[in-house]
Chains A and B, each alone.
Chain A
Amino acid sequence: MTTSRRALTLYVPLSLATILLLFPFYWMLITSLKTNRELIDLSGLPFWVFQPTLEHYRFLFSETGFLRWALNTLTISIAATAISLVCSIFAGYALARMRFRGASAIAGAIFVTYLVPQTLLFLPLLELVRQLGLGNSLWSMILTYPTILIPFATWLLMGYFRRIPRELEESASIDGASRLRAMTQIVLPLALPGILSAGIFAFTLSWNEFIYALVFTTSTDIKTIPVGVVTELVKGDVYFWGSLMAGALLGSVPVALIYSFFVENYVGGLTAGAVKG
């Protein structure tokens, strides 16, 4: 009785949800392994591959710029994350641990920038990027992605810094350490989990960014994976479905891997804002 009740209220709906949420990934994988003939064969069972092939992956690596896009995405993501982390650690520390004029106004302003969506700013940013001579370069993304990352990371880190007892720094300054030293040698190591969360978050957000990368870049060499796959694997009306799926899947693997290693940090970061308010 209790077992069947539990099955009905837990396992059945949970399995259903899991299947629905994961099916598109399965579908990507299956499609990427099918031959073109099998892809358009409507008579057979579509949920399985009968003649698996790696042809679409070969095409992706040898006849498209996929590897280049992967390298670009990696470069941009690492650089933007590094810039954002440095800025956010500094800003988060100042806002959480120091008393100065305008602190709450600045904290509020940073929070507001977090809520400004990219679709509101991409046109003037495109103009700015062109004026700065950064159009169609990796720099256009390395310099603008931090605007998406810094507000979030700063807020996340402020929370972590606040939880570290003040006495630790105060005793360090009694021992003659400067404020900056106390920060880098005592507070930062203790805030490492938060820095890790912020870093993972920043990296995935950079990796996934689409609209800035779409409007700032025109040549194949500069594209990121999301933009390259979406714009270059469709020629007019011809969709290279197998390669599209292969590219979509491979482009998702790095973030999925990082995420799976650091689920706790990621979820902690994702929910920190909402739960701690």
Chain B
Amino acid sequence: MRAEARERPVATRQFPSIGELLDREGVLAYVLLAPGVLILAAFIGYPFLSSLWLSVTDQSVSTSSARFIGLENFTDELRSQIFLQTVRNSFVYTTVTVAIKLVLGIALAVLMNQSFRLKNLARAALLLPYIVPTALSAIAWLWLFDATFSVVNWAIVRSGLADRGINWLGEAGWAMTAIIIANVWRGTPFFAITILAGLQTVERELLDAAAVDGAGAWQRFWQITLPLVRPVLLIVLLFSIIMTISDFQLVYVLTRGGPTNSTHLFGTLAYDVAVRAGQLSEGAAISLYMFPVLILCVVALQVYLRRSQT
């Protein structure tokens, strides 16, 4: 039927009208794809290529014409203490937050997978940290971690845990802890809700049968539930790694990368170098250092998706 519809216009007339052309699958498909593909090509494809070019030049806001300098920006960064610090920060920030979010997310999902009253309300409320603008919720954290007026410190001092409050955003180790806490707060709901959706696909009968065979709750979880939701875990994990390593808002609002660069991530350092200091090409090179990690995650996802489809 479809083949017939495609042939007809060609057979009857030499120059098919636009309406007839659009009825051909091969033509119509490209017409339908064009707007989206054009936007993506113009504002993702082209900027990506131009960032590759930018990163091998010496372009800054003060230079009128850019000169090709090869990989100098990239090798310069490897000798920069601030950059190396940023790599360490990103590694710590990403691994620690993703690990905590995964554990808490699984725990929360298992809790939510039970039936109880007001479950829908609870689920809706739990996702709130994830859906509101991060830059705005980060302001709440800024105030919660304030050097003088932190309510967290108020609780610590009043409860007698310590004599003095913690200088959350003013000391290197504590500042990293603070952005990790804020990130975990924001990201755990995403893990929980997605993993919950995965848990709901696990068939009750399977777990019941295992229970009849004498498997305890813990054993059922490790040997049946977890293997079944592994695909979901993997996808959430890879997504979260990409989102976390490329994070910007939390750090921008809470610490601006400080104190003494102890919380800079690739995004915030690139912003400082390129937008505030005007070293465009250097900033582009810093951003591009994220690329290998992204490639790894994308390839892992693609391979996995392709395998699961066949």
Contact = CB atoms under 8 A, between A and B. Distances in A.
Interface stretch (B77-85, B92-100, B171-179, B229-237): B229-237
Given A18-B126, A24-B141, A147-B40, A275 B201 contact: yes
A46 interface: yes
Contacts of B32: 90-91, 93-94, 98
A120 B287 contact: yes
Contacts of B116: 10-11, 14
A28 B231 CA distance: 37
A271 B22 contact: no
A125 B47 contact: yes
Contacts of B144: 24, 27
Nearest to A173: B5
Contact of A230 (B48, B50, B135, B193): B135
A118 B246 contact: yes
Interface string B228-258: 0001100110010011001111001100000
Given A248-B140, A275-B198, A108 B302 contact: yes
A183 to B, nearest CB: 8
Given A22-B125, A98-B28, A124-B284, A266 B305 contact: no
Given A147-B44, A150-B39, A154-B36, A255 B133 contact: yes
A22 to B, nearest CB: 6
A187 to B, nearest CB: 12
Contact of B133 (A83, A111, A151, A225): A225
A151 B216 CA distance: 43
A130 to B, nearest CB: 11
B168 interface: no
A100 B30 CA distance: 9
A40 B309 CA distance: 58
A106 B36 CA distance: 11
Contact of B267 (A24, A87, A119, A263): A119
B154 A117 contact: no
A21 B287 contact: no
A116 B290 CA distance: 10
A210 B134 contact: yes
A22 B190 contact: no
A180 B22 CA distance: 8
Given A17-B126, A46-B151, A173-B1, A127 B131 contact: no
Contacts of B35: 86-87, 90-91
A117 B298 CA distance: 12
Nearest to B38: A87
B127 interface: yes
Interface in A103-135: 103, 106, 108-113, 115-128
B139 A245 contact: yes
Contact of A267 (B37, B127, B149, B291): B127
Interface string B46-83: 11101100100000000000000000000000000000
A72 interface: no
Contacts of B188: 21
Contacts of A124: 46-48, 50-51, 54, 284
Q: Is the interface of B mostly helix, strand, loop or mixed?
A: helix
Interface residues of A, number: 101
A205 to B, nearest CB: 10
Contact of A120 (B51, B108, B127, B239): B51
Interface string B133-155: 11111011111100011010010
A53 interface: no
B37 A119 contact: no
A211 to B, nearest CB: 5
Contacts of A255: 131-133
B185 A20 contact: yes
B214 interface: no
A225 B51 CA distance: 28
Given A10-B111, A274-B198, A94 B134 contact: no
A54 B308 CA distance: 55
Given A10-B116, A39-B149, A147-B40, A120 B132 contact: no
7 contacts: A27-B144, A124-B51, A128-B46, A143-B39, A147-B43, A248-B137, A275-B198
Interface of B: 1-2, 5, 19, 22-23, 25-26, 28-30, 32-33, 35-37, 39-40, 43-44, 46-48, 50-51, 54, 107-108, 111-112, 114, 116, 120, 122-129, 131-137, 139-144, 148-149, 151, 154, 185, 188-190, 193-194, 197-198, 201, 231-232, 235-236, 239, 242-243, 246-249, 252-253, 266-267, 270-271, 274-275, 280, 283-284, 287-288, 290-291, 294, 297-298, 301-302, 305, 308-309
Given A143-B43, A147-B43, A277-B305, 11 more contacts: A24-B140, A42-B149, A94-B33, A121-B47, A122-B271, A146-B43, A225-B133, A230-B252, A245-B140, A266-B127, A266-B131
Top 7 closest pairs, chain A to chain B, by CB: A119-B267, A117-B246, A87-B36, A271-B197, A124-B47, A252-B132, A248-B136
